[in-house]
Structure 1
């Protein structure tokens, strides 16, 4: 039988995240927060011409960001907020590291994957993720389920 072991919510103010991208490059932030498979997807999107186009771009008015740069912005922002929500859902049971969680897609739906050691250490049997963004905000909700150990006597 499974039970909920944690629920986490994170609300991200996108202009604040844009300011973070202005202080650090998207490339530096990606190395810090992305898992290896996420970083491969990021690198495939973040080509040299995009890298050059992003130099000097101010991520302050999200509507003025060109589409190719906007996709990179949302790629990083949604992973940031989903991983923050996951961290909150497992805290204080387990201290989640950025690279232990991967945000992927299952068809059109986002899904959250934990690495095997983390899953075992935190006793997670299932993870549920919902992400949304509108205007200046992105929100993520994460729920983790764990298995109840049955007492056979």
Structure 2
């Protein structure tokens, strides 16, 4: 399953300017916020969570919340996508892959999810 999302970085910049960390706390955990260097990083994280929900085919909502999706980084700075046990079980997820890029005014995230074959 594949999901992709695109966000205009200025949208995130305006949210952060207006609401500060409260804006980030709507979709990120405190640990994830520690990884946010600027509005570009925050935009990439937003796109990552939206792309994940799209890959699951449900969007962000009752079946998959922002809290069900966690983003971290490897020692070299590559993004890591982790799903909650509930999501892994309900959607039979075996593995996840995440790629984030920023170019000009936009951040894009692509997520690939592999299902367990039963």
Give TM class, smaller chain: 0.7 to 0.9
Equivalent-residue separation in structure 1 for 2:12 and 2:111 (angstroms): 20
Q: Does structure 2 conserve the Cα–Cα contact (< 8 Å) formed by 1:126 and 1:144? A: yes
RMSD of aligned alpha carbons: 2.1
Find out whether 1:91 has 2:57 as its counterpart: yes
Q: Does structure 2 conserve the Cα–Cα contact (< 8 Å) formed by 1:125 and 1:144? A: yes
Structure 2: stretches of 5+ with no match in the other structure: none
2:7 aligned residue (9, 12, 34)? 12
* Structural mapping, 1:4-153, within 5 Å: 6-23=1-18, 25-39=19-33, 41=34, 71-92=37-58, 95-108=63-76, 109-149=78-118
Point out the structure with the larger helix share.
1
TM-score normalised over the length of structure 2: 0.85
Q: How many residues in Structure 1 have an aligned counterpart in Structure 2?
A: 115
Structure 1 stretches of at least 4 aligned residues deviating more than 3 Å after TM superposition = none
